[in-house]
Copies of this chain bind each other. A is one copy, B any other.
């Protein structure tokens, strides 16, 4: 009786907004023997994870590590460590994940301004420029790859607007990391967060974050303690860095084995090759969908390779098609979120999933179902 339900699991083709398919070496890593969180062998794995994350996040930031929670805990970490009451914060918002940022910043007592853009379209840098001319902000936050709409925001362009300001730049890279370049240092980003279950192709459970030295200085100069014990980076860095390795909380050992292997697979393949694979799979998907008479919800120049928003044709039963894909073809795709529920499907091509054979399998199933 104790593990009956696990036998119902299959190698489902995960083409939703995450989790994505997991390669075998990562599954194997997860079930390696648990050792202690202060064991020197484990410290060695932590150091290697940090180095691999720095490579994938394109940063020399010493504070680059995985938070012990899923992607949203990365968002929580970045905001809660940097915000103090009444801090002016600007959220650039064009989807569900921008909304979340605003909600969280408000919960933390920040003075939040929101600059909203139409869902399905990108943030417009000129509008941001105008806003910045009128008010100084401690933090400007934006989502790189808006998972709810499939839109890529112009984070590099926005970063150039901040060059002459004191503002910290906070970027959500949950869906982009590992599927397209995340240029943390090039963007002069001060706080970046991601998740493991998207283009890193590791199961959900960890949130890579990176803080610039400027962000750390600000954190250390806080007037009040971080109002979150679990995610207080001033304590967590003492476990991830230095000689003493002071215990803070028991690290999620086996999940970290998985991340170590997932990052290894990515770097073995080569980042450029991985990005090219995502782009090729995306192009093949768009082409195939067009042949089926389906249209993309986002205009070509702003489309994400790893998250494809597809308009549901009139008269087609949204949930019916998704259920049939899952039950008859063992393929998962995602529903629309928030204002886009019932209007779009979200087809993920993330990490290990982003391959021609998977695109073909989905297109063939859709052809039969539609």
Residues of A that sit less than 8 Å from B by CB:
1-3, 5-6, 8-12, 14, 16, 18-19, 21-22, 25, 27-37, 39, 41, 44-45, 48, 68-73, 75-76, 80, 100, 103-104, 106-109, 195, 197, 203-205, 225-230, 247-255, 257-258, 260-261, 263-265, 267-268, 326, 332, 337
CA A251 to CA B196, docked complex, whole Å: 12
Residues on B with beta carbons closer than 8 Å to the beta carbon of A268:
1-2
Say yes or no: B22 contacts A34, CB within 8 Å.
yes
Q: List 23 A-B contacts (CB under 8 A).
A: A2-B25, A2-B265, A6-B29, A8-B41, A12-B33, A19-B253, A27-B33, A28-B31, A34-B203, A35-B332, A36-B332, A39-B326, A72-B230, A73-B230, A104-B229, A107-B225, A195-B250, A203-B255, A205-B205, A205-B254, A205-B255, A227-B227, A252-B255
Say yes or no: B253 contacts A72, CB within 8 Å.
no
Q: Which residue of B is nearest A264, CB measured?
A: B2
Q: Which residue of B is nearest A248, CB measured?
A: B72
Residues on B with beta carbons closer than 8 Å to the beta carbon of A109:
227
CA A69 to CA B30, docked complex, whole Å: 16
- Contact pick for A3, options B44, B229, B264, CB 8 Å: B264
Say yes or no: B14 contacts A34, CB within 8 Å.
yes
- Contact pick for A264, options B1, B27, B29, B197, CB 8 Å: B1
Q: Which residue of B is nearest A48, CB measured?
A: B5
CA A5 to CA B246, docked complex, whole Å: 22
Taking the closest CB of chain B, its distance from the CB of A28, in whole angstroms, is 7
Q: A3-B29, A5-B45, A204-B253 are in contact. List 7 more A-B contacts (CB 8 A).
A: A3-B28, A19-B36, A34-B197, A70-B250, A109-B227, A203-B252, A228-B228
Taking the closest CB of chain B, its distance from the CB of A338, in whole angstroms, is 10
Say yes or no: A250 contacts B3, CB within 8 Å.
no
